[in-house]
Structure 1
């Protein structure tokens, strides 16, 4: 057992070496004029781009994960609260960035509500206006459990990642509901998911193993949020193990999603298999580290539009959303990948049963602003 701890500590040290310069990069993404964060360095000096909801919430998550939220200067806290509040529309309660295409991507619209509300709570602020359900601007499918199930059945799962993202993010309206009204919606959703889960793999939808695991990861947000047990975790685990050993992780999401799923399922993983999982993860994440201190979503570049998923040649991606470009697509760090990298680190430590300290250099962050 002692030898196992030494092995785990060794691979975690190898992982930690890859976070050098991260907080220097993060500080450079902050815009004190708006209280928001930019997606990438290439976004900062181009007037087309501006700080956005997702990047700002993801930056806040990085600060929280490294014990920096309590030390945040009052002026910065006030500016960040104002940033999220300024994104909410008074008439509908939705939160929108300045990019027109964002409103056409259902997933981004739903994520913006979650990101904004959660960030405001963490910063000690509140939304200025009623949220969509109370404002009566939510979609018609949340009017009854029957309509909700009809909506879920209509979602194409040919690409599990995209389809399950649509399923899971639609739950943002259920969070607004009183518990007694929410229950029948949850019941039909849970029954539907159980009926379409693959009996052998434990995964949902179609696509490569990484695509299906990414879709399953999206659904775990539904299960965990409403404290519903995810069915067949042992089969999901075997699929994850097979995937890590046989497929190439070409996207930071492909590194984060399996680790996050494993952490959520809380299974008893044999020590030798867990060590192999951590070693594969550390090797994969190293491929996405960039010289600017951040991490990139993809091996060849940071995608300019993070709302468009990685699609391999020959793979089908239904209802491809309009790209919402937040950067220039250069070989550089981006906020989406960098926040995932900090979460991967924490999950790896947790799986190994070792307490994680903040990333080296975290104390420099506020001095660098």
Structure 2
């Protein structure tokens, strides 16, 4: 291992001091869910939500902590998801009525809930939207799916590609033959729309476009399809890291996750540069409570609404679903991203990360962590 690897890995790991004690304090033993931020725990207007709970599970999974979760806690978490499934439609909803109005949130909650239940060793109680025949009309044929994709505005790549990628959540509910015909059609569609010079999709700042490519890479990764023009994407990412300011944790995570997916042959000097830039950016978002915030000035109240620079286009801004008070504090959205960045950086370094979460459960099998009472 080179000297710079050792230096950067120590700097990276040091940023996670306090993260795991913060994480346990976000758990609500009454509902079995996790809160978004510390301000959410202490304010009666907020309740644990599907995305924050699923993001907490991702943190536990990445640090090999899920298997040792106390059984009583696991059962509470399973109940958390199952109670949020609508028996008629099969969708999963949070209590906030605005959540149902955001197409991306609805699709993401469905994906998050199914994955989380599987990781907890459980299943949904009811059949899913395709079987219940309540999935959007565009899922009924490839031509209708194509019309749906064509209707999505890509002038903000991040939002547009999020809508494109989340529309594929229904693929997995189809029979094998239909699924792969739809997967192939979507891959062909994306190839048509990709910018051959940058390797990205749509418009916006470089970080917005890279964030759009990140949203689409989830499709490519899930179905093990190589993303086209990866050499162009790599050069665009490197140029962006060198020239743009990362004002959002997503802007730090998305390039690193793309690189770990593509596995380009990165020269040692460029890998060192990428690592240093990434860790320096993460450090700016570390908060006093031990966790990380999504944005530089504060944690956003509503993480479903992307931060938009002045003059930047954002079509059909969704209704904000507020999960916290927007204070200068850590939040679950950013903290789960930070743990993924760490994992992917170690992967790019070809190095196995050491454990930074020892004694997490403190030997309390069967004991529920207790967050502060409201």
1:276 and 2:273 aligned? yes
Structure 1 position 205 matched with structure 2 position 227? no
CA distance in 2, matches of 1:46, 1:310: 24
Given that 2:293 and 2:334 are in contact with CA atoms closer than 8 Å, whether structure 1 keeps it comes out as yes
Partner in structure 1 of residue 336 of structure 2: 339
Q: Does residue 350 of structure 1 match 2:347?
A: yes
The answer for the alignment partner of 1:121 in structure 2 is 118
Distance 1:365 1:153 in 2: 52
Is the alpha carbon distance of 1:57 and 1:362 closer, same or farther for their aligned partners in structure 2, counting shifts above 3 Å? Answer: farther
Conserved 8 A contact 2:98-2:319? yes
Structure 1 residues 161 and 329, CA, compared in 2 at 3 Å: closer, same or farther?
same
The residue number in structure 2 matching 1:38 is 35
Native 8 Å contact 1:23 1:362 kept in 2:
no
Distance 2:359 2:93 in 1: 30
User: Is contact 1:288-1:295 (8 Å) kept?
Assistant: yes
Deviation of 1:361 (Å): 4.9
Partner Cα distance (2:355, 2:169) in 1: 31
Work out whether 1:51 is the aligned partner of 2:48. yes
Contact 1:31 1:38 in 2 (8 A): yes
Aligned length: 366
Map 1:112-191 to 2 at 5 A. 112-191=109-188
Q: Counterparts of 1:94 and 1:344 in 2: how far apart (Å)?
A: 30
Task: Verify the 8 A CA contact 2:63 2:357 in the aligned structure 1.
Answer: no
Note if 1:90 corresponds to 2:84.
no
> 1: CA distance between counterparts of 2:157 and 2:323?
24
Does 2:229 correspond to 1:232?
A: yes
Distance 2:3 2:176 in 1: 46
The alpha-carbon deviation at position 19 of structure 1 amounts to 0.6
1:103 aligns with 2:100: yes
Q: Give the Cα–Cα distance (whole angstroms) in 2 for the partners of residues 313 and 322 of structure 1.
A: 19
TM-score between both structures, scaled by the size of structure 1: 0.97
Conserved? CA contact 2:69–2:361, under 8 Å: no
How far the C-alpha of 1:357 sits from its partner, in A, is 2.1
1:267 maps to which residue? 264
